[in-house]
């Protein structure tokens, strides 16, 4: 269960805006959000940095929103 839609909506972004952040098309991002297509790890990293959270939070492995200290 990815939290892409929740993160986007909680931060008042559109799919088009997030697609621009990821340098992909809106329909590609929509497929990531609906889990019809796997999101590449590099894009997960971009989103984690963008939202200030962790990949573990985005992918549902933890409920802790706060990002880990960066190395």
- The Cβ-side half-sphere exposure at 38, using a 13 Å CA radius, reads 3
pTM of the predicted model as reported, rounded to 2 decimal places: 0.91
Q: What is the DSSP code (8-state) at residue 45? A: H
Domains in the chain (CATH in brackets) are 4-58 (1.10.260.40)
More confident residue, 66 or 1: 66
- Cβ within 8 Å of residue 31, ≥6 positions away: 37
Structure tokens at 66: 């706060």
Residue 69 has pLDDT above 90, yes or no: no
Q: What is the mean pLDDT of residues 8-19?
A: 98
- Cβ within 8 Å of residue 65, ≥6 positions away: 53, 57
- Cβ within 8 Å of residue 43, ≥6 positions away: 22, 24, 32
């Amino acid at each position: 269960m990815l939290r892409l839609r929740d993160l986007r909506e909680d931060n008042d972004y559109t799919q088009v805006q997030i697609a621009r952040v990821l340098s992909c098309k809106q329909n590609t991002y929509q497929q990531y959000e609906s889990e019809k297509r796997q999101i590449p790890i590099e894009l997960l990293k971009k989103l984690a940095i963008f939202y200030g959270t962790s990949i573990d939070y985005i992918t549902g492995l933890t409920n802790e929103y706060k990002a880990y200290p960066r190395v």
